[in-house]
Amino acid sequence: MTPVNAQPSPEHSARIERQPLHDAIVSRLRDMIIEGHLAPGTRINEGQIGAALGVSRTPLREAIKYLASEGLVDLVPSRGAVVKTFGAKEVRDMIDLIRSLEQFAATRACELATNNDIGGIRDLHDRMIACYHSGDRMQYYKLNQAIHSGIVALADNAALSDMHGVLQTRLKRIRFIGHEGPEKWASAVAEHEEMIAALEARDAPRLSAILGHHLTLAWERVKDGLPA
């Protein structure tokens, strides 16, 4: 399918003000990609996006380059920036690897984390559940990802955290669509409830198994909507 030029939706057309400009543009564009307002295969029209956000092309281009470094955007000669399209095999491969990383992290986290560390994950979880009940899907998603990153961080392994961070960034849109629909969302929430209970109990085998099952289901929730 031929990519079409991006058309910013009204909810993303508010001009950026009072934030560090680069971070604000990167965050806004990333959210637009995650939510599908800039769909996979879409060419990012710098003029339209810049006008919608109230920014010039120079900082916008720097933000696009940053998203390219994260693996969310492809810079294509003669076509410009295009939102990255991941095929089914690429996604399956990344989910398989992130599953292994999180299961390893689960064991280490149960051994190394302090009670305060685990309390911090519980706080993220409780805030995420509040977002679920209020229907705030984007904030729910961001807290969800923070929980996964937080458990990995408790393993106290910088190389592990770095690799997990790269994969998690590339899977942002994929993980977001895994919560589409009330049944999928409720299922994901139930899995997180089991996850936090296992972490608080420091039950490493159980936490590892839950994370493995959770990420297997993440693949099942998205696979039918991915290109071959």
Beta bridge partners of 73: 83
Cβ-based neighbours of 154, under 8 Å, separated by 6 or more: 105, 108, 109, 112, 113, 117, 118, 121
- Helix and strand totals (H; E) in the chain: 10, 2
pLDDT classification of 1: cutoffs 50, 70, 90: very low
Q: Which of 144, 164, 158, 187 is nearest to 97 (CA)?
A: 164
Considering only residues 62 and 172, tell me which one the structure prediction assigns the higher pLDDT. Answer: 62
**Mean pLDDT across 109-126:** 97
- The average confidence (pLDDT) of the chain is 89
Residue position matching structure tokens 């281009």: 61
**Mean pLDDT across 43-63:** 92
pLDDT classification of 224: cutoffs 50, 70, 90: confident
pLDDT classification of 2: cutoffs 50, 70, 90: very low
| The pLDDT value given to residue 159 | 97
CA angle 200, 203, 205 (to 5 degrees): 145
Give the distance from CA 26 to its chain's centroid.
14
Token pair listed for 119 = 């309390």
| Coil/strand/helix, residue 77 | coil
CA dihedral 42, 47, 52, 58 (to 10 degrees): 100
| The pLDDT value given to residue 153 | 97
DSSP assignment of 8-39, as one string?
--GGG-SPP-SS-HHHHHHHHHHHHHHHTSS-
Token pair listed for 52 = 């919608």
When mean pLDDT is compared across 82-91, 97-106, 150-159, the lowest value belongs to 82-91
| pLDDT tens-digit series, residues 128-148 | 999 999 999 989 999 999 999
**Mean pLDDT across 44-52:** 91
Considering only residues 179 and 218, tell me which one the structure prediction assigns the higher pLDDT. Answer: 218
By DSSP bridging, strand 80-83 and strand 73-76 are antiparallel
Q: Which of 87, 80, 84 is nearest to 60 (CA)?
A: 80
**Mean pLDDT across 101-124:** 97
Report the length, in residues, of the chain.
Answer: 228
Beta bridge partners of 80: 76
Q: Residue type for 201, please? A: A
Token pair listed for 167 = 């994969």
- Residue 16 · residue 31 · CB < 8 Å: no
